[in-house]
Amino acid sequence: MNAAAARLDPHHDIADIDRRLFGGFVEHLGRHIYDGIFEPGHPSADDEGFRTDVIALVEELGVSTIRYPGGNFVSGYRWEDGIGPKDERPRRLDLAWHSTETNEVGLHEFQAWLDRVGSELMLAVNLGTRGTQEALELLEYANVEAQTAWTDRRAANGRETPFGVKMWCLGNEMDGPWQVGHKNADDYGKLASQTAKAMRMIDPGVELVVCGSSARSMPTFGAWERTVLEHTFDDVDFISCHSYYQEQGGNAQEFLASGVDMARFIESVVAIADAVAATRKSDKRIMISFDEWNVWYLHNEEGGQNDKPAEQGWPVAPRLLEDQYHALDAVVFGDLLITLLQHADRVRSASLAQLVNVIAPIMTEPGGPAWRQTTFFPFSITSRLAQGRAIRVPVESATFASAAHGQVAAVNAVATLDDEGVSLFVVNRSTTDAATLRVDLAPLVRALGRPVEVVETHLLHDDDLYAANTLGEPGRVSVRRAAASVDGEELSIELPAVSWAAVRLA
């Protein structure tokens, strides 16, 4: 049993939490939309063909802003294909995922679904095979009130009032050689700057995200950010980060250090953005949109990838990237959420990639049930409890050796403070040792002028690290009450090896 100690001081605040930190991502990929959120023949389907059992789970998950329609998909997408009468919409080849897109769901249908789940729309524009003109036309169609050919067309398609989309992504992963329309940093930076300037001529209030590196491991990482921001610094509000993690070679302990990698990624991009600001003698701060993050078993044990359909030809909605998540994955996932909150001063938006069936917290079976994967629980609990301001909670704990990151703290934590109370989120990264975390609450009690008590606890842990929720056993892994109590001005939490916990104090 390891002993860990921390101090919860409300004056060690990081920043107000932007609710967009708990965003999601829906891409036209595999069974995400078709047979996922949209299945007209399903017993639970509403009049528009959306599965209401999935809607209920997305509401429970608590996603704020949802990025759409991609992802790699957007770099070959013609947004006009998804508007107008469904029987007149063209079927197109999707080069990104080697599939056929039917365009049954487009902008109007997806907005209707967002209205049902209570989330806001974040749109990506195609800067791969298209450019500034198409981005302007989409923005005019979505946001303009004046009477024009595009707004008349929007009204004819059933929506007289604008969609009012606030946040826009200027392409997707344009640094990646796999991307249709891949560009070097100089060419992309020029195009993104030109597009951003033109979009602001139509709607000065939009918030724009420029593409950062697809991963910290990209050979152009760092140089890409610097070059792109030198072109776009005055034009954009955010730069994107994308990062996925997976256990490799059965090394669970190394996998549990993933949050350290995410933290270093964020801090590196912040440093580059601020260096560009310094050379321009500017006090503007570029924020981070971590608009793709998750556990993703992209590479199998043989070193191959699972991102192409097994079916021959160009199938519709093939089973792609349908990862089954274990208890271990959920603990790492919870730690990634802690890391995002620890950087809430600069990470002002984040999108869990993705939501349904595709590397997702929610799974469905055609004509059958929907269920929660293990990663569902830390997201739904954190999105509900993490309100107000993020608070630093430095922890003194045992460490373990990571090949990639050196000595890593076994216990990691962050807190949030709102008018009703305090939420504490904790992870024990050790694969061998349980830990008792004792948190000094004296600074909190003094600041509040009254004692606190534990009112809600959650623990995610399973003795079998590879236990998972499946179609046959959808409730195998869940959360239970954590062993947490307050004695005077000290909070004590018992953390089994490989566990994530949340504690609410009132």
The answer to whether residue 173 is catalytic is yes
Confirm whether 420 is a catalytic residue: no
* DSSP assignment of 131-185: -HHHHHHHHHHHH--S--HHHHHHHHTT--S-----EEEESS-TT-TTSTT---H
Q: Which two tokens stand for residue 200?
A: 């602001």
From the number of C-beta atoms within 10 Å of its C-beta (0-12, 13-18, 19+), residue 159 rates as middle
Catalytic residue among 39, 80, 134, 173: 173
Q: Give the length of the chain.
A: 506
Q: Name 290's bridge partners.
A: 350
Q: Where are the alpha helices (DSSP H) in 343-491?
A: 376-385, 442-448
Chain centre to alpha carbon of residue 482: 26
C-beta of residue 70 within 8 angstroms of C-beta of residue 77: yes
Q: Quote the CA–CA distance of 33 and 286 in Å, as a whole number.
A: 32
> What is the spatial distance between Cα 4 and Cα 6, in angstroms, rounded to a whole number?
7
What backbone torsions phi and psi does residue 371 show, to the nearest 5 degrees? -145, 165
Contact 392, 6 (CB under 8 A): no
In one letter, which amino acid is 323? D
Among candidate residues 373, 312, 364, 375, the one with its CA nearest the CA of residue 31: 364
Cis peptide, bond prior to residue 354, ω within 30 of zero: yes
The tokens for 403 are 């090949």
Q: 249: Cβ–Cβ under 8 A, 6 or more apart, which residues? A: none
Count Cβ atoms below 10 Å from residue 127 Cβ, excluding itself: 26
Taking the mean position of all CA atoms in its chain, how far away is CA 15? Answer: 19
The catalytic site residues sit at 173, 292
